[in-house]
Amino acid sequence: MKLAGFLLLVAGWAIVVSALALLPSAGARTAFALAGMAVELLGLALAVRSHLVLEAEGE
């Protein structure tokens, strides 16, 4: 779960960067950048959750 969280963080960033490089219109860029940011937040939530679970197991 931790690895998935970090992969999502990187994937979200890749979406943002790809949108800038590949999309010509401002509207599409904005939409994809926001979508990429949402994926990053999902990844961050997953990474946080995985550390919560790991610490609970440790105790």
Partner 1 sequence: MAPSPPLSEVSALLCFLLILLVPLAGVGLALINCGLGRARSAAHAMLAALCVTAVAAIVYVIVGFAWQGAAGRPEHVLIVGGKAWGWIAAEPFFLRGLRLDLSPAALVVLLQLFSVGLAGLIPLSSGADRWRLGATCASTALLAGCTYPLFAHWAWGGGWLAQLGANCGLGRGFLDGGGSGAIQVTGGLTALSITWILGPRRGKFSAEGLPAALPGHSAVLVLVGCLFAWIGWIGLNSGGAILFLSVEPARVVLIAVNTTLCAAASGLTTVVVTRVRFGRPDASLSANGWVAGLVASSAAAAFMKPAAAIIVGGVAGIVVPLVADLLEFQLAIDDPGGAISVHAVGGLWGLLAVALLTDAGAPGKSGGQWLAQLVGMATLLGFVLPLSYGLNWLLDRVYPQRVQREGELQGMDLYELGAGAYPEFDIHGDEFLPR
Q: How far apart are the C-alpha atoms of 8 and 40, rounded to whole Å?
A: 6
28 part of the interface to partner 1, by CB under 8 A: no
Helix (H, G, I), strand (E, B) or coil at 25: coil
Which residue from 28, 29, 46, 57 is in contact with partner 1, where contact means CB under 8 A?
29
17 part of the interface to partner 1, by CB under 8 A: yes
Size of the site for partner 1 (CB under 8 A): 30
Which residue from 1, 4, 16, 57 is in contact with partner 1, where contact means CB under 8 A?
16
Q: How far apart are the C-alpha atoms of 28 and 7, rounded to whole Å?
A: 24
